[in-house]
Structure 1
Amino acid sequence: MTRAPTAAQRQVIDAADPVTGRLRGTQAQLAALVKRGLAFRHPRPPHDHFLTPAGHRMREAVPEPQVPTPSTGVFTPRVGGEEGAPLAGPARLREVHSAWQGLLELRRMTHPDGAVDRPCGWERTHLVQAAALALEAAGHRPAGGDADGYRVRATAQPEAVAVYAPDPGTLAACGATLERAGWQAGEYTEPRTRVRYLLASPRRV
């Protein structure tokens, strides 16, 4: 049974990178988290420490704190329709690329066979954000301001999100992107509104 971490160790867990789970703390704090099964030390240099699935579950058991970095702040994938969302300039593109590469690394580290072609545990517990990151990283434009683009929304179905797009071509392109990112996606029509949408879920095999 995992013992509860101390307050200082809990701060380290709460401050973990929201995508990769990378930790920052003293060697004693990190070693204690490893001993509790909440973190692991990467075997490759620079031997950073990352949250284990148990560590992620503990971190997500309470609202995640906003832990800004000195330059960019907390990264948040654009799900479409946000007010005051960042523009798709060079800085945003770099952030999205870095977040996507971090997510691929998380897949590699957490899948038993090191696979990066299917979603990991973090994505299955953050469905909307994960699907939005895959779309934004592939260059799709999210809806916002005076621009129309994709919108990712939660659904009542377990492990499934709905993706809306302004036209059939964009919707099909979003579906192809999600398929390449390890999701299953199919097009459906809402019975009352007749609006077409994608129903997407993380692929397991």
Structure 2
Amino acid sequence: MTRPPTAVQQRLIYAADPATGRLRGTDAQLAALVGRGLAFRHPRPPHDHFLTPAGHRIREGAGAETPPGASSGEAPDGSGGFAARVGGEVGAESGPARLQEVRGAWQGLLELRRMTNPDGAVDRPCGWERTQLVRAAALALEAAGHRPATGDAADGYRVRATPQPEAVAVHGPDPAALRASAAALEEAGWQVGEYTEPRTRARYLLASPRRR
């Protein structure tokens, strides 16, 4: 179980700029937040530090410390509380609280795009998403209101890794759901194509983060 932030770290998080998530603290304090996935160092001078989506969630009182896990599917950053659902989870809760968590994670990801894309664009994926493809695609789908599959049931989307670089496979319960998932991913800045699995003849999506 992930340890909660220390009292000092919580004070830094709560004192972050409410609009940008910009942090102030000593080099050691900021490095500790980066190490826990709660902050990132901007790649351009003056190399300020900003909250990650997980840091934003703590600041907003959600109490979550992390996003997506590569295989089980957590969402934006990488420590362990909030989990972007990739499909196949059992007993996952839903309802207003979940919707609020997803909304906060998506807004945090948009801010991450704004701060880390060279031109500040929020309409296409950022570097973090390119290293966390399954998590990022799952968050985009859930944030758009799509429902992940439950357990072994074919009642929602499933996002899975592929051997191809910068590509994930998205499976859906029916053609209409696949088309809706494709539209949601394209709206979130992904390139999407529909393909047929040779052996089963099942249709699926292949999605990659758009570069322009």
Decide which of 167, 185, 210 is 1:178's aligned counterpart: 185
Deviation at 1:28, TM superposition (A): 4.2
Structure 1 pair 101/70, CA: closer, same or farther in 2 (3 Å)?
Answer: closer
Deviation at 1:201, TM superposition (A): 0.3
Partner of 2:68: none
Decide which of 83, 89, 112 is 2:118's aligned counterpart: 112
Q: In percent, how many aligned pairs have the same letter?
A: 69
Is the partner of 1:162 in helix, strand or coil? strand
Contact 2:194 2:206 in 1 (8 A): yes
TM-score, normalised by the number of residues in structure 2: 0.67
RMSD value, Cα:
3.2
Instruction: Describe the superposition over 1:79-129 as per-residue Cα deviations: whole angstroms up to 9, x where unpaired.
Output: 000123222x10000000000000000000011211001100000000000
**Match status 1:143 vs 2:142:** no
Partner of 1:162: 169
TM-score, normalised by the number of residues in structure 1: 0.69
Partner of 1:29: 28
Contact 2:23 2:51 in 1 (8 A): no
Is the partner of 2:124 in helix, strand or coil? coil
Superposition map of 1:56-67 within 5 A: none
Which consecutive aligned stretches of 4+ in structure 1 deviate over 3 angstroms post-superposition?
Answer: 22-26, 30-33, 40-43, 69-73
Partner of 1:50: 50
Structure 1 pair 42/70, CA: closer, same or farther in 2 (3 Å)?
Answer: farther
Unpaired runs of 5+ residues, structure 2, are: 1-8, 14-20, 33-39, 53-57, 66-80
Q: How many residues align structurally?
A: 162
Unpaired runs of 5+ residues, structure 1, are: 1-11, 17-21, 53-66
